[in-house]
Amino acid sequence: MAAIVWRLETVESVDSTNAWLAAEARGGAPEGRAVLTYHQTAGRGRMDRVWEERPGSALLVSLLLRPTHLQGLTWCTAAVSLAARDALTRLAGVRPDLKWPNDLLVGDRKLGGVLAQLVAAEPPAVVVGLGVNLTAHPEGVGATDVRACAGVTLEPVAVCDLLFEGVERRRAALDDARGREALRDEYASALATLGQEVRIALADREVRGRALDVDAEGRLRVESGGEVLAFAAGDVVHLRAAGDR
């Protein structure tokens, strides 16, 4: 496939980078459009949780991707998570683990998160938002930041340069069955969740078991009560890390 032409727009403050870019996608913006901000006034994470950050202390960026294969839509989160991991490793020596489905962890502390949003457009689009604590983090919620971990102060734009490079390196895999399989393997190898005893909170119930692997659709396979269940979404707690039974 042709190289992605990245076009990064920087705004001082915005309600949500994902919402901003989704509007651009519906208007026909091409793959490679991205927006970076220094402060979100209405940022959200999984389960509609509020994402709070001190202005200027975090990387807050969203990327627009347009995979040509429907299954590729599923793997956009993994591609961005792995690219972010690579960028932080190269720039700061911080190599976060990934927590299914969308967190970046250092030990048992959250460094960042990824949130993908499918946009009804033609062709279909996925907006992938990434938030990483760079120089500060919320207290009392089990979080950390790059400076606290490595003593390094990173500029958001510098992280974006390597982030885009890492996404582009994995982009072709989204449209190819063998590529998606290789991406799944890379993602699984970075997941701290696998092999863990986990608790998964769903809308109507809670499941506990041992995380086995991720399948071809990105679902987490968990052994629970003598059977193997597959979850496409859910709020996951690593029981060993949390000391929670």
Domain extents in the chain: 7-190, 197-242
pLDDT for res 43: 55
Identify which of 155, 31, 159, 20 has the alpha carbon closest to the alpha carbon of residue 89.
Answer: 159
Dihedrals phi, psi of 121, to nearest 5 degrees: -150, 175
Task: Classify domain 7-190 by CATH number.
Answer: 3.30.930.10
Select the CATH number that applies to the domain covering 197-242 from these four: 3.30.70.1140, 3.40.50.12780, 1.10.287.1080, 2.30.30.100: 2.30.30.100
Give me the tens of pLDDT residue by residue for the chain, a chain 245 residues long: 778 999 999 999 999 999 999 999 999 999 999 999 999 987 554 444 555 567 789 999 999 999 998 888 889 999 999 999 999 999 999 999 999 999 999 999 999 999 999 998 888 899 999 999 999 999 888 999 999 999 999 999 999 999 999 999 999 999 999 999 999 999 999 999 999 999 999 888 999 999 999 999 999 999 999 999 999 988 899 997 555 55
At residue 228, the pLDDT reads: 97
pTM (two decimals): 0.92
**What was the pLDDT predicted at 175?**
95
At 71, give phi and psi (nearest 5°).
-65, -25
**Equal CATH topology for 7-190 and 197-242:** no
Q: What is the pLDDT of residue 188?
A: 97
b/e per residue 72-88 (b: at least 16 CB within 10 A)? bbbbbbbbbbbbbbbbb
Closest CA relative to residue 79, chosen from 194, 206, 209, 182 = 182
